[in-house]
């Protein structure tokens, strides 16, 4: 009899404990929990670069012009070159409008950019760098609508 009671108690534990754990896990599946986790993860996702300290890309509009700039800063004394390109969205594709280039040596920041007249539409600026003659190719882009 004692053996039967012990077996029944063990079976009950094997059934009840997973049910409690499942109930607690499903509380985290609510939309509010998921959206806050997604927002937190999206905000924290940034590329890790070994030879690059920072990469920037900026795009703003004023007086009918797109103001574009970008920079790349090496983490050491490597040389840096970069190209900052302005694209306009055309349907599902991006067409390059113009680009600017810059470079630096001795571990200094390289930057480039300029302004150009644009019509209404969706634009993207992409900074594409080259640190240490190919050691690393950092990129960053930003998209805005005028």
Read off the pLDDT of residues 15-53 as tens digits, 9 standing for 90 and up: 655 555 444 444 444 444 444 444 445 555 667 899 999
71 vs 58: CA distance, rounded Å:
9
Q: Model-level pTM?
A: 0.69
Is residue 122 very low, low, confident or very high in pLDDT (cuts 50, 70, 90)?
very high
Q: Are 97 and 88 in contact (CB under 8 A)?
A: yes
If one compares 72 and 20, the residue with the highest pLDDT of the two is 72
End-to-end CA distance of the chain: 81
Is residue 2 very low, low, confident or very high in pLDDT (cuts 50, 70, 90)?
low
Please give the pLDDT value at position 4.
Answer: 60
φ and ψ at 83, to 5 degrees? -130, 130
Please give the pLDDT value at position 17.
Answer: 53
139 vs 84: CA distance, rounded Å:
10
- In order of 85, 101, 116, 128, 131, the CA distances from 77 in angstroms are 25, 20, 33, 19, 10
Q: Are 105 and 115 in contact (CB under 8 A)?
A: no
Is CATH 2.60.40.10 the right assignment for the domain spanning 52-145?
yes
């Amino acid at each position: 009899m004692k053996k039967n009671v012990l077996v029944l108690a063990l079976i009950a534990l094997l059934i009840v404990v997973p049910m409690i754990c499942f109930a607690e896990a499903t509380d985290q599946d609510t939309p509010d929990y998921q959206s806050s986790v997604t927002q937190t993860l999206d905000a924290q996702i940034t590329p890790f670069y070994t030879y690059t300290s920072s990469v920037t890309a900026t795009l703003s509009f004023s007086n009918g012009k797109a103001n574009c700039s970008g920079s790349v800063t090496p983490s050491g004394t490597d040389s840096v070159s970069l190209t900052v390109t302005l694209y306009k969205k055309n349907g599902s594709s991006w067409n390059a409008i113009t680009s600017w280039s810059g470079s630096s040596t001795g571990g200094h920041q390289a930057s480039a950019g300029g302004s150009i007249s644009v019509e209404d539409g969706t634009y993207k600026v992409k900074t594409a760098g080259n640190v240490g003659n190919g050691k690393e190719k950092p990129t960053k882009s930003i998209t805005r609508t005028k």
